[in-house]
Amino acid sequence: MWNKALSLFGGFMVIIYILIGLLLLSAPDFIQGFNDTYRIIFGSALILYGIFRGYQTYKKFRESDDENEEDNE
């Protein structure tokens, strides 16, 4: 049960990371006084981190799903 809840929370956080990264890249006035170069680097890093965390969450979810299937057999 906790694994599923943590996977859902992880998926939610993946969406947040990617959305904030996209917002930083597409809205220059999102953070006032933030240098354009840093904004692009930070936004890109958030998107890449979100993709990485999404992969990790998916992998962990699939592993726990496989373990549950083995327990049911």
Reported as a pLDDT band with limits 50, 70 and 90, residue 68 is low
> How many whole angstroms separate alpha carbon 6 and alpha carbon 1?
9
The sign of the torsion formed by the CA atoms of 17, 21, 22, 23 equals positive
User: Could you report how far apart the first and last alpha carbons of the chain are, in Å?
Assistant: 19
25-29, 33-37, 67-71: the lowest-pLDDT one: 67-71
| Model confidence pLDDT, tens digit, residues 32-46 | 888 889 999 999 999
Greater pLDDT, 67 or 63 = 63
Domain ranges of the chain: 2-72
| Model confidence pLDDT, tens digit, residues 12-23 | 999 999 999 999
Angle at 65 between CA 63 and CA 68, to 5 degrees: 110
